[in-house]
Amino acid sequence: MSDIPTANSQQSATIRVWDLPVRLFHWLLVATILVAFLSSEEDSALAPWHVPAGWVAAVLIAFRLVWGLVGGEHARFANFLKPGQIAHHLRGLFAGKPERSIGHNALGGLAIVALLGTVGGIVYSGATMRGEGGEGLHEALANVLLGLVALHVVAVVAMSLITRDNLIHAFITGRKRAALHPGVPDARPPATLAVPLAAVAIGASTYGALTLDPLAFTPGAHAEAGERGDGAAAKGEHDDD
């Protein structure tokens, strides 16, 4: 008999944890935040993408809020927003014996909410920016987000090493090693109407963004509009002379 493991045996050695939509959301938001930071300076080659990146982040958050109610088992807020477990989780960490979690642990759940809330605040402050005060708030929230992202990455890497449960790999493949979680079944799939409801959320948020800003997803359009506005103002001053 062949000793080469079959596809079925490989599947049985792992359990399904993260559904595909929540994984796509995660990595798309990572890419969007990266683009937003790299495009924040006016002289950046990616500067034309700053505003579109912000609106894409808004659409992604709208999707995640809906998916947090109807998505797969471990993508749902009810599965990981458990403040009562924070103290127990911290005791395990300080004792050097943190428990492995299937989905997000108690602190990870809080981190997700903090990250989503901060990104939402950045989008809102950017869309409603007025004067230096608005710009200052936008930049302050961006710095907070940078700190939260750094903390999140450090925590994920640390927990992966301590528990020997590769969290990054799990959020790529959607699966974890069954041997590390004995007796745990595959995660329950998304609700029947999850995909249609998510599509509605994406469509509605996209429509809302375009209603508020018709140039929301057009790279460089706002800079061009600003230049035309400055040119018109300069022309008006010249005509008045």
Bridge partners for 15 per DSSP: 176
pLDDT tens by residue, 41-64 = 989 999 999 999 999 999 999 999
3-state DSSP helix/strand/coil percent for the chain, to nearest 5?
A: 70, 0, 25
Q: Would you say residue 7 has pLDDT above 80? A: no
Q: What integer pLDDT is reported at residue 50 of this predicted model?
A: 95
Q: What integer pLDDT is reported at residue 98 of this predicted model?
A: 80
DSSP string, 43-76: TSTTGGGHHHHHHHHHHHHHHHHHHHHHS-GGGS
pTM of the full structure:
0.87
Q: What integer pLDDT is reported at residue 1 of this predicted model?
A: 44
Average pLDDT (88-108) is 86
Q: Would you say residue 130 has pLDDT above 80? A: no
Q: What integer pLDDT is reported at residue 239 of this predicted model?
A: 53
Q: What is the 3-state secondary structure (H, E, C) of 197-230?
A: HHHHHHHHHHHHHHHHCCCCCCCCHHHHHHHHHH
Q: What integer pLDDT is reported at residue 80 of this predicted model?
A: 92
